[in-house]
Structure 1
Amino acid sequence: MTESKPETPLLTPSSRMLPDFKKSVKLKYMKLGYHYLITHGMYLFLSPLVVLIGVQLSSFSRKDIYDIWEHLQYNLVSVIICSTLLVFLSTLYFMTRLRPVYLVNFSCYKPEESRKCTKKMFMDHSRASEAVLSLPPNPSMKEARKEAEMVMFGAIDELFSKTSIKPKDIGILIVNCSLFCPTPSLSAMIINHYKLRGNIRSYNLGGMGCSAGIISIDLAKELLQVNPNSYALVVSMENITLNWYPGNDRSKLVSNCLFRMGGAAILLSNKSSDRRRSKYRFVGVVWLASFC
């Protein structure tokens, strides 16, 4: 019997040295470059053509230009076909291109001094609660709703005061909150409070953890791509008051450690008139791993 030879590995050392394309940062820049190319493709294509036409026309004399004009007058059909094709291509480009999205302004809820709590105060209250094996009585839904209104309306009022936007100008409303998801929804509370218009596109995201803020911004961007001349209001808030865990089980204390009470309002726009006064221009969403 001959001695069996050991099997050769399928992966050679050189193949193991290949980069992980899924985790490569260069793919992000390739995506941004592709996005820039598609967005400005018409300008990049027409710029050399316009330069060539300008150089060619500059070499013509007045007699040559007059002869060309006489030739076009006798070829009316060709002129109409070319003009129609040019108008069709221009219309197709402006209808299919990605609309730029701008972050006009944003604001965060700033509580009163009496409602602020330092880390030391929080730990002292937690230890005192553990000593009696229970936290203060769980607040009612009515009290939690009042606190949520205070947080949301405070951030939105400050945002409206920073800009000249009126509530009736808002076409898209997106609200996200992980722990506090009442009925009627938080988005319905905002619509009724500010008397937003009846055909507003309203979305209420709940129970999605820390990623809900990024998801809300990405959803607003997608909606602004298909709704021209619109404003999108994104309200990201949290209210742990009603969902505080009073026990000592470590596996259930994650929400107590991660979430507090607060809110922020972000105003997005796809109007070209908001380009100069906007703080940022939306480029893209980069999804990262989240542990919460």
Structure 2
Amino acid sequence: MEGAERGSEIQIPQTRRLPDFSQSVKLKYVKLGYHYLMTHLFTLCLVPLMAVLLVEASRLSPEDIRQLWLQLQCNLVSIMACSVFLVFGATVYFMSRPRPVYLVDFACYRPASELEVPFNKFMEHSRLKGDFDDSSLEFQRKILERSGLGEETYFPKAMHYIPPCPSMAAAREEAEEVMFGALDILFKNTNFNPKNIGILVVNCSLFNPTPSLSAMIVNKYNLRGNIKSFNLGGMGCSAGVIALDLAKDMLQVHRKTYAVVVSTENITQNWYFGNKKSMLIPNCLFRVGGSAVLLSNKSGDRRRAKYKLLHVVRTHRGADDTAFRCVYQEQDDTGKTGVSLSKDLMAIAGGALKANITTLGPLVLPISEQLLFFFNLISKNLFDEKVKKPYIPDFKLAFNHFCIHAGGRGVIDELEKNLKLLPENVEASRMTLHRFGNTSSSSIWYELAYTEAKGRMRKGNRVWQIAFGSGFKCNSAVWEALRYVKPSPNNAWDDCIHKYPVHILD
């Protein structure tokens, strides 16, 4: 009897789960049908209207047609005036609309294999340096295990010595190797003459020497004297999108030219040697990396370009003191400099994301999702007690690929959860974090390179690059593939793409 009672108790919840599952499947297909209906609503309404017009036109007699022609001749002045107005309006529209910005190609730097830093080497060097106490060493070990990083990420040369030698010369050497390495690959793949660069934008948050990093590139490649060059510093991991936005604006002003955007970060002089826990996290996450992107506003480059830039949306929460200080470079109690990460970082990032997608959503979401979001907003205002959860739009209907800044495992987890993404939607981000670590502003380009290396980019596919940075900022860039995109030669994933995706332990 006891066994039967237990069996019956077990069977009850099992029989209740089946309707829930079938109900969720039904709701899924109902929503899918609704999406297709709203997407093609205009076409569905236009077809019957065109059919009615064709039927009515077929009923006109030759006499009716002749009378209509006579009426048009009598109103010749009105017709000419309307024609002139339409031509003038069309001319103004085409002259004032934004010039298209094309991404011809991009390249990501892959360091030499001798710069790899597996976990045991990282911990051994940390112990031998003698600056960390046992608590700090254990804390770093736990961060590494939970970080989502793999065993093949890279440190600069200066950090492989014992003790490390973080000099200005070593920092310059790291910057040159990364920037010039990415640019050399880009120029070789595109057969591009660097002297044709009209606009140069370089971003690196923590290393800003004099002369600037952009001046180092001008000097290395002997770029022309009237180049418009910019060097962005202190803008965090989202500076890559900011640099892209600046290049886009410059391409609207200067006709028929090229822009190059270089994104990187410098590890050599920014290693933290103290024992403050919040400052030790960047030591465990940040690794060597950089990218170079070639943009064009020439219509003739559309044929060879990979992508077209559709939107750039930037959100800044710096007016809020808590957001402003959540990623903060400072000295600890012993005078050692590092970057401190606040415990409120994820909550602040969530607020910045919400503000960003509120602006981005109307630009990219299909009308079906926009209507659902609008009705939910109205219902929440009218019936606040009943509607507790805001409607999260389904961005999978707007984008085919997601490049989420590989800032850490927690960042990717939060966006996957909040945006209701599937594991395959965040695969490129997780694998980039595993293979290259947090390469700061260039991580979104390693993720796009991963997608290309997997052969998943089709013509018309839309890509969402989203990054977070100190300040606090959340920035998005939206691209559309102009063709089936194959990986360029010397893709950063060439030697290992066959091994990915890999399973990452919880």
Q: TM-score, normalised by structure 1?
A: 0.67
Secondary structure class of the residue paired with 1:114: helix
Residue 283 of structure 1: how far off its partner (Å): 1.4
1:173-184 paired onto structure 2 within 5 Å:
173-184=200-211
**3-state SS of 1:251 partner:** helix
Distance 1:91 1:132, change over 3 A: closer
> Does residue 239 in structure 1 map to residue 266 in structure 2?
yes
Q: Relative to 1, partners in 2 of residues 1:94 and 1:164: Cα closer, same or farther, differing over 3 Å?
A: farther
Q: Secondary structure at the match of 1:110?
A: coil
For 2:289 and 2:304, the matched residues in 1 are separated by 27
Q: Distance in 1 between matches of 2:469 and 2:227?
A: 34
Q: What is the CA–CA distance in structure 2 between the aligned matches of 1:118 and 1:223, rounded to whole Å?
A: 42
Identify the match of residue 209 of structure 1 among 233, 236, 246: 236
Q: Which residues of structure 2 form unaligned runs of 5+? A: 1-53, 55-76, 134-161, 316-348, 351-467, 471-506
Name the amino acid aligned to 2:123: M
Unaligned runs of at least 5 residues, structure 1: 1-54, 56-76
Q: Please, which moves more after superposition, 221-230 or 179-188?
A: 221-230
**Structure with the greater alpha carbon radius of gyration:** 1
Q: What RMSD in Å do the two structures reach over aligned CA positions?
A: 3.9
Take 2:201 and 2:285, find their aligned partners in 1: how far apart are those partners? 22
Identity of aligned residues (%): 61
Residues 1:165 and 2:221 aligned together:
no
- Aligned match of 2:277 in 247, 250, 264? 250
Q: Secondary structure at the match of 2:199?
A: strand
**Pairing of 1:42-191 with structure 2 (within 5 A):** 88-130=88-130, 136-191=163-218
Structure 1 position 173, deviation (Å): 0.6
Deviation at 1:205, TM superposition (A): 0.6
3-state DSSP of counterpart to 1:168: helix
2:302 aligned with 1:275: yes
Establish whether residue 193 from structure 1 lines up as the match of residue 220 from structure 2.
yes
CA distance in 1, matches of 2:224, 2:283: 37
| Contact 2:236/2:469, CA 8 A, preserved across alignment | no
What CA deviation, in whole Å up to 9, does each residue of 1:60-87 have, x standing for no partner? Answer: xxxxxxxxxxxxxxxxx99998887666
Distance 2:311 2:246 in 1: 12
Rounded to whole Å, the distance in 1 between the matches of 2:132 and 2:272 is 14
Partner of 1:223: 250
Q: Determine helix, strand or coil for the equivalent of 1:99.
A: coil
> For 2:243 and 2:186, how far apart are their aligned partners in 1?
17
Equivalents in 2 of 1:272, 1:252: separation in Å?
A: 48
CA 89–241 in structure 1, closer or farther in 2 if over 3 Å, else same: same
Secondary structure of the residue aligned to 1:264 is strand
Deviation at 1:244, TM superposition (A): 1.2
Instruction: After the TM superposition, list the runs of 4 or more consecutive aligned residues in structure 1 that deviate by more than 3 angstroms.
Output: 77-91, 130-133, 286-292
Q: After superposition, give the CA deviation of every residue in 1:69-106 in whole Å (9 maximum; x if it has no partner).
A: xxxxxxxx999988876664444222210111111111
**When the two structures are aligned, how many residues end up with a matched partner?**
240
Q: Which has the higher contact order (CA 8 A, sep 6+)?
A: 1
